[in-house]
A and B are shown apart, each in its own frame.
Chain A
């Protein structure tokens, strides 16, 4: 394993890990605030128990998100010093604003978790909303930083020097909006389906069905609305990169040769040697239409770019297919949910219906990881698109693979512990509801 590959793997692992916790940290506060709102409006204690049960879980996810994020801010330098030396001052603006957002989030979370019975109910509710909004703001900001790597702006690149830096312009780069929009929706989709799936499973077990149905409903409504909007936003992203990063689009679509009326390739195995895609279904003209809104438009293929600047086609293409495939499945499930709500309420208690949602628990997160793979691997070999190569950015220190192994072990253990803790939280829910155990957040104090 060479150092560059080890560094890339470590970065991918850390981000892939962080993103899960970050999404939950961004979205769960909204679920909790909804449930809390219903409690304050209706006085139904089940909503209060739900808010508390969720917030206990969130504290665990939150700390894991915070430590993995802290790691990332060091890793940028530990792995990519040459990149940070130049990029730091340019794309640093979102990070410095993010500092404020995190701070507000952390403070509001302190208020929210420890505030039961201490503050006026609506102030307490409000602190929960603040957690969500500032979490969302930090997510959008950091994705804008990633957008800058895809679509660098806010400086002049002259003879290898970065001049006339304007961090505000760098923040509002061409990619920030499409990426942030798509990412925010993805966070709601992924978390919504994951949470709904867990509660659907609990409903199937037949205990405290009322409690779990309330939880399921809140989560799935958020998730389903976002899932339905996702393809629209994805289409905007695709049209956008067709212009900004045609090499990425070509890799996503395994589109080797420039052509007019380009077909959309579904499935298949791209062969980077022969530049052909085997076993694929081709829909004539569809790619031209998706990328440029015209069945006859010319779509740039990889042949327009020097070989050494091709992104890995196989990984990018597969990841893209996985994302879109899963996205469509989630749209289907969302429509099913809306339909049942409208016409067939009784389905929502039937086994097959619940099973479908249980089965969909991980799908949103899988789509999200696949989507990031598309964006990040599709940007290769550039770390700053068409400005700096990833291989020129990597740290000079040898032996990065050991660091990769150690951090892999750490992440695996953390993931295992979090799964274990979550399992125990869920197991404890009946105790909470039956009042055998004091469920309060501050039970020890």
Chain B
């Protein structure tokens, strides 16, 4: 049963990064859109993510619940040592979710819109940055449960070059996902071209910041590059991801909507799974090397079995209705096109 829980944990992280990431990305793309085009972008964003954004952020909550029920030492260690970036990410989540809904549901569309938009755009930026930074800090090997000083215990684990670079990389991924998705939504050829340009920009940004992560791992002596390149499976996955990225570059803006989206999704899934495979079963890499893994920190016995059952039964309810939700609105959009 532990494996069921582990699979759900991996799946929720993955889905949060993809669905939630595209969602944050929409705000990032908005930031790089000239003000004259923003209104239109906003209404497209709203139409595509409006119905599902609530469901998107549920993946984060599921992740958290799996962690505290199934792997409490991981949840508590991260909560203690990464308290500050977690709190900052929370502020981003609050700003982002509320601004998105407020700007649409305000009964009057007036000056207040500017305030909502500002909050929306900035928090779309801040949240994935801290999310990535948290990932980086979790595997960066700087968490030291024995540390005594404030700086060593609560700042240094995340305030380092490597974690920051993963944060920047995450922003890039989100912008990448959203722009690739939005290319397919653009209706007029001029808009489409603009979006393709943006998507290409984000591809470059992703590649460059990916390089930055590797650079930072060398500088901060995080054993990442060496190990990644020693395992043939991770090499294979990363090669596939690069090929997909190349194909995507060529196919962007072609009439087929689905293919580039699939490629985009594939790129992100493979990057994440390469990392996941590389670190498995460890989750938190600590300074002393006493890493917390999904095996050594799992709760035992009934808590895991009931958690696994709750997740399995839950997905029987959730997955079909989620699918139906996405399907209904996708279908509906296509015939309401003028």
Which residues of A approach B to under 8 Å, CB–CB?
A: 56, 59-60, 62-64, 66-71, 73-74, 76-78, 81-82, 84-86, 88-90, 92-93, 95-100, 102-104, 106-111, 113-114, 118-119, 165-168, 395-398, 403, 406, 410, 414, 417, 421, 424-425, 427-428, 444-445
Contact = CB atoms under 8 A, between A and B. Distances in A.
A99 B61 contact: yes
A89 B69 contact: yes
Interface residues of B, number: 65
Given A59-B101, A397-B83, A424 B108 contact: yes
B54 interface: yes
B46 A444 contact: yes
B61 A403 contact: no
Given A99-B61, A103-B318, A167-B302, A414 B98 contact: yes
Given A97-B310, A103-B322, A111-B325, 15 more contacts: A62-B101, A63-B100, A67-B93, A73-B64, A84-B79, A89-B70, A92-B68, A93-B307, A99-B61, A102-B58, A106-B54, A106-B58, A108-B321, A168-B302, A424-B108
Contact of A96 (B150, B310, B317, B328): B310
Contacts of B287: none
B57 A66 contact: yes
B90 A395 contact: no
A76 B68 contact: yes
B79 A81 contact: yes
Nearest to B82: A78
B52 interface: yes
7 contacts: A73-B65, A78-B83, A85-B75, A88-B69, A96-B314, A99-B314, A119-B328
A424 B50 CA distance: 22
A62 B98 CA distance: 10
Contacts of A97: 310, 314
B43 interface: yes
A67 B97 contact: yes
A165 B302 CA distance: 7
Nearest to A399: B150
A169 to B, nearest CB: 9
B190 interface: no
Given A63-B97, A63-B101, A78 B87 contact: yes
Contacts of B65: 73, 92, 95-96, 98-99
Interface in B93-121: 93-94, 97-98, 100-102, 104-108
Contacts of B304: 89
Contacts of A167: 302-303, 306-307
A62 B72 CA distance: 29
B102 A88 contact: no
B307 A403 contact: no
B240 interface: no
A119 B79 CA distance: 44
Contacts of A100: 310, 313-314, 317-318
A67 B303 CA distance: 27
Majority-rule SS of A interface residues: helix
Q: Which of A96, A100, A113 has the most CB of B within 10 A?
A: A96
B258 to A, nearest CB: 22
Given A74-B79, A77-B68, A427 B107 contact: yes
Nearest to B5: A96
Interface of B: 43, 46-47, 50-52, 54-55, 57-58, 60-62, 64-66, 68-70, 72-73, 75-76, 78-80, 83, 86-87, 90-91, 93-94, 97-98, 100-102, 104-108, 150, 153-154, 299, 301-304, 306-307, 310-311, 313-314, 317-318, 321-322, 325, 328-329, 332
B68 A84 contact: yes
A96 B309 CA distance: 10
A145 to B, nearest CB: 11
A90 to B, nearest CB: 7
B64 A107 contact: no
B54 A109 contact: yes
Nearest to B323: A107
A118 B332 contact: yes
Q: Which 6 A-B pairs have the closest CB atoms?
A: A92-B69, A77-B79, A100-B314, A89-B303, A428-B107, A106-B54
A386 B284 CA distance: 33
A408 to B, nearest CB: 13
Given A103-B318, A395-B83, A427-B107, A85 B101 contact: no
A164 to B, nearest CB: 8
Contacts of B310: 93, 96-97, 99-100
A71 B61 CA distance: 10
A178 B318 CA distance: 30
Contact of B54 (A81, A86, A110): A110
Nearest to A83: B76
Contacts of A64: 98
A201 to B, nearest CB: 17
Contacts of A84: 68, 72, 75-76, 79
Contacts of A98: 65
A110 B97 contact: no
B51 A114 contact: yes
Of the listed residues B50, B54, B60, B107, the one surrounded by the most CB atoms of chain A closer than 10 A to its CB is B107
- The listed residue with most B CB atoms (<10 A of its CB), out of A86, A106, A395, A425, is A106
Contacts of A111: 51, 325, 328
Nearest to B64: A73
Contacts of A70: 57, 60-61, 90, 93, 97
A118 B335 CA distance: 12
Nearest to A398: B150
A93 B87 CA distance: 25
B206 to A, nearest CB: 27
Contact of B62 (A81, A88, A99, A398): A99
B107 A424 contact: yes
Contact of A110 (B62, B307, B325): B325
